[in-house]
Amino acid sequence: MATAAVAVARGAGARGAAATLRGGCGTAARGRPRAGPSRPLCTAPGTVPDRKRYLWERYQEAKRSTDELVPSIMNNLLNPDAIFANNEMSLSDIEIYGFDYDYTLVFYSKHLHTLIFNAARDLLINEHRYPVEIRKYEYDPSFAIRGLHYDVQRAVLMKIDAFHYIQLGTVYRGLSVVPDEEVIEMYEGSHVPLEQMSDFYGKSSHGNTMKQFMDIFSLPEMTLLSCVNEYFLKNNIDYEPVHLYKDVKDSIRDVHIKGIMYRAIEADIEKYICYAEQTRAVLAKLADHGKKMFLITNSPSSFVDKGMRYIVGKDWRDLFDVVIVQAEKPNFFNDKRRPFRKVNEKGVLLWDKIHKLQKGQIYKQGNLYEFLKLTGWRGSKVLYFGDHIYSDLADLTLKHGWRTGAIIPELRSELRIMNTEQYVQTMTWLQTLTGLLEQMQVRPDHDLAADPDWLVRADAGSQRCRVTAGFAGVEKGKKGDERNDQKFLQCPVWKLVPHRPEPDLLPEAPVAICRHLHGVSELPLELRCQPHILPQEDSPAARTSRVV
């Protein structure tokens, strides 16, 4: 609850500035009377010089309001080590706890991704006959993040947001950024329709392949794809992008399937597995309180056994009521045809028919429907933890009503960036400017005859409008007149800005506004030079190397 309170308090601070500016005529900022003219804020002056001064006064007032809010927000920062809840849940109602293994119970060191990258690169050379020169490429842990999309046909890696907009500046062909103009021409804009994107299971209604990488193990795969693409492009080698994607995918898969990764980790377990001293204490406490526990993982039996012995102890199996290995998720959650098989102490598969899942025994494969039938563990009394948003969590919640917990290691570094003063200052200023924009706009039924120098363009079928202000000489005419639009676009004082900018345009809104406001001659030189841009951490190059 403390964490939620902090989050609300922080959000209220940034939004408070915007709300104050939107609050209506004569609303006081932070409980104090406004400085400046006594007329209502939603009434603009008549002449062009007055309008410039009016805009500048509102801008200055918004800037002061932001500067006053930042210190209070800095005193209510988010805890990077906190647990965040998207829904109400009482742990007293949870009777069964489930866990994934990789990156949930066990975390790996930075050496693991280098191991996977090098092994897959060697498989490309030795088994798929790729040029030996690609061996010069090394794994770069800062190149890619989870969640990126890869267009298989065009061989480009990019970030697409939740609204299916391509984030310009994050599109890479090989190791080089694709110019924004080329991206827009390639996709006929920056929006990718839903039907043109593959879902997590690789299906697309239009036959397109836009693969999304959501697994932490996929980071080496994205980097290897880009490195090989880079080699072919730099050496003017004609190649088929679809074949490259398939070969890299197969090589990464073979690193797991052929046991290359498992054998390397087992041979030097201290190098690759991060020891967590509290893991056993947490599991033992749950068991002491009578909670049931189960483990479902795609990793093999011997590998899981050695890892759990290292972080929990030799008796780790006594803590779990059910242990399932090589489950082949996400098929485990959707395929009803595969029965469970028992695995003996030597790792040999037995042919016995399974009528009950016994404590201390290890099982292989199976499916969730059989699991629910044999255990009776259904509904909201089950809480399952995993690191994969889709294969571990989404299906379980949507289809079976389980509670789920997402283990997101990237969140800690993201929160640390969000807690920096530069980030807080920038985001507070961005939200304040958004409120200022909304306040400066005119209702769709504004009387143009009485005030012809304000132009209102109302979007068809909605109340959203766009406004130009602060210039004279616009012909009177109907709303949306093309002649007015042309003159408006040439206006140096105010630029056409969406009433509510789309997500991919939002960071540019304050830059555009300030650029035009800084063109006003009354601005002091030092303010005219202020960039008002996002911090360096949010530059286009940085956005491809971390979650935003």
Residues designated catalytic: 100, 102
Q: Are 467 and 455 in contact (CB under 8 A)?
A: yes
Which tokens is 64 given?
């002061």
The tokens describing 207, both together, are 């036959």
Q: Could you give the CA distance from residue 124 to residue 262 in angstroms, rounded to a whole number?
A: 19
Q: Is 67 helix (H, G, I), strand (E, B) or coil?
A: helix
Strand partners, 364: 325, 341
Are the C-beta atoms of 295 and 105 separated by less than 8 Å? yes
Q: Identify how many contiguous H helices and E strands the chain contains and give both numbers.
A: 19, 16
Structure tokens given for 237: 């080698």
DSSP bridge partners of 325:
364
Q: Are the C-beta atoms of 272 and 264 separated by less than 8 Å?
A: yes
Instruction: Specify which residues 172 forms β-bridges with.
Output: 157, 177
- For residue 175, what are its two tokens? 């190791």
* Whole-number Cα distances in Å, 235 to 39, 120, 173, 229, 301: 67, 21, 14, 10, 44
Q: Which amino acid, residue 191?
A: H
* Nearest-angstrom CA–CA distance, 481 and 382: 60
3-state secondary structure of 86: coil
Of 465, 471, 467, nearest in space to 492 by CA: 471
Tokens describing residue 470: 């602060």
